[in-house]
Amino acid sequence: MWLLVGLGNPGRAYESTRHNLGWDALGEIGRAFGLSSGVSRFRGRFGEGRIGPHRVQWLMPETFMNLSGHSVAEAMRFYKVDPSRVVVYHDDLDLPVGKVRMKSSGGHGGHNGLRSIQQQLGTADFLRVRLGIGRPVGPIPVEDHVLTRFSPEERRVVEAMLSQLPPTTPLLLEGDLAGAMNKLANPSGVRRNPLPEGEKSPVSPPRVAPLPS
């Protein structure tokens, strides 16, 4: 069993912001593999399904970013998921817009969501998929930059980046991190699995208020 986590903030004010790129990634993966639509559980939006032979759960914490670890830890405890079988999709300031990097462990790099997860799990040994949002240009504070939306030009780059994620997911679940990174570097032949016109992704960002702590 695997737990796929997308980091973001709840509420319409945060939709499509840079800090919610983890939610966007999880939505793309859910659409590609037909994962179930979510329910309110574990202080977030939660669902499940299969990717190839693997049973997976997906989770979008609704605790706001700096408390994401509480949501993740509750789901992990309930399903007895080992940290090594958790994949966290999150925005990353240190990567240019449209770049993706993967790693099996490491520090939080100042990311409040990762910091919270590491604090609650007591370990940093979980998989991360780092999604580039770029650093602010000029005097814009970082805390403001992450809550801005992408420009139309950036959004096109981001959509192309998100389309590369589903083909890497089965490789991650097989423990083939090198293969997943190679797929990102050589995406030729990758095709998206679009939904019929007018149909929405089964994994959609939650719109409900965060549950009380």
pLDDT digits (tens, 9 = 90+) for 23-63: 999 999 999 999 988 899 999 999 999 999 999 999 999 99
Q: What is the pLDDT of residue 197?
A: 38
Residue of 144, 146, 147, 113 lying closest to 129 (CA atoms): 113
Q: At 110, give phi and psi (nearest 5°).
A: 85, 0
CA pair distance 114, 107, nearest whole angstrom: 8
Give mean pLDDT, residues 166-182.
Answer: 94
Q: What is the pLDDT of residue 203?
A: 59
Q: What is the pLDDT of residue 190?
A: 43
CA pair distance 155, 206, nearest whole angstrom: 21
pTM here is: 0.87
Per cent of the chain over pLDDT 90 is 80
Please report the DSSP string for 189-202 in residue order.
T----PPPTTPPPS
Which residue of the set 19, 90, 111, 145 is catalytic?
A: 19
Residue of 197, 198, 200, 169 lying closest to 183 (CA atoms): 169
Cβ contact 26:89 at 8 Å? yes
- CA atoms within 13 A of residue 76's CA, in its CB half-sphere: 23
The more confident residue out of 86 and 203 is 86
Residue of 34, 26, 64 lying closest to 50 (CA atoms): 34
Query: Is pLDDT above 60 for 199?
Result: no
Q: What is the pLDDT of residue 213?
A: 31
Q: What is the pLDDT of residue 192?
A: 43
Query: Is pLDDT above 60 for 159?
Result: yes
Q: At 192, give phi and psi (nearest 5°).
A: -80, 160
Q: Is 70 a catalytic residue?
A: no
Q: Which class does domain 2-185 fall in? A: alpha beta
**pLDDT-based confidence at residue 188 (cuts at 50, 70, 90):** low
Q: Where are the domains of the chain?
A: 2-185
